[in-house]
Structure 1
Amino acid sequence: TGLITVQGPIDREDVSTLKFSVMAKDKGANPKSARTQVVVTIKDMNDNAPSIEIRGIGLVTHQDGMANISEDVPVETAVALVQVSDRDEGENAVVTCVVAGDVPFQLRQASETGSDSKKKYFLQTTTPLDYELVKDYTIEIVAVDSGNPPLSSTNSLKVQVVDVNDNAPVFSQSFTEVAFPENNEPNDLVMEVSASDADSGSNAKLVYSLVTDPSSKDSFTIDPDSGEIRVKAVLDREQRERYEFLVVAADKGSPSLKGTASVAINVMDRNDNDPKFMLSG
Structure 2
Amino acid sequence: MNEQQLTRIAEGQGFIAALDQSGGSTPKALLQYGVTEDRYSGDEEMYAMVHAMRTRIIKSPSFNAELILGAILFENTMDREIDGRYTADYLWEEKGIVPFLKVDKGLAEPEDGVQLMKPIPGLDELLQRANERHIFGTKMRSVIKQANPEAIRRVVEQQFEIGKQIIAAGLVPIIEPEVDIHSADKAESEALLKTELARQLAALAPQDKVMLKLSIPTTDDFYRELMDDPHVVRIVALSGGYERDEANVMLARNRGLIASFSRALAEGLTDQQTDEQFDALLARSIQSIYEASIT
Q: Same fold (TM over 0.5)?
A: no
Task: Report the structure number with the largest CA radius of gyration.
Answer: 1
* TM-score band w.r.t. shorter chain: under 0.3
Higher relative contact order by CA 8 Å / sep ≥ 6: 1 or 2? 2
Q: Which has the higher helix share?
A: 2
Q: Which has the higher strand share?
A: 1
| TM-score, scaled to structure 1 | 0.19
